[in-house]
Amino acid sequence: MAIDGTYQIEVDTPMGKQAAKLTLKTSGGALSGTIEDSFGKHEFGGGQAEGDQVAWGMEIESPMGKMQLDYTGKVTGDSISGDVKVGSFGTSPFKGQRA
């Protein structure tokens, strides 16, 4: 399954739906990329890709200070979906399509 690419995603947060552009790049089982959202552009590395499963974590600056985001997801064709654990605020689902 080809995971590499750019996706337009939407995260369903308690504060409403948040749109973002997600770019994923694999090298073997390693995953890296960027997310561009209303807080800016954030790079990440150290993620994992196995089959159609992906996982990565990143720290962002937000109006509430630094927050750890931990993503897990699945790529099916041109679709991606999964969950993001947002620091101590719980878990929110995300989904999107390859751009």
- Of the candidates 68, 41, 42, 73, the one whose C-alpha atom is nearest the C-alpha of residue 57 is 68
Amino acid (one-letter) located at 96: G
Structure tokens at 85: 């654990």
User: Which class does domain 5-98 fall in?
Assistant: mainly beta
Q: Is the pTM of this model over 0.75?
A: yes
Of 93 and 89, the structure prediction assigns the larger pLDDT to: 93
Query: Residues, the chain, total?
Result: 99
Query: Looking at residue 73, what is its pLDDT?
Result: 98
**Quick check: 84 and 11 in contact, CB under 8 A?**
yes
| Percent of the chain surpassing pLDDT 70 | 99
Give the mean model confidence (pLDDT) for residues 11-19. Answer: 90
Q: Which residue has the tokens 């878990």?
A: 91
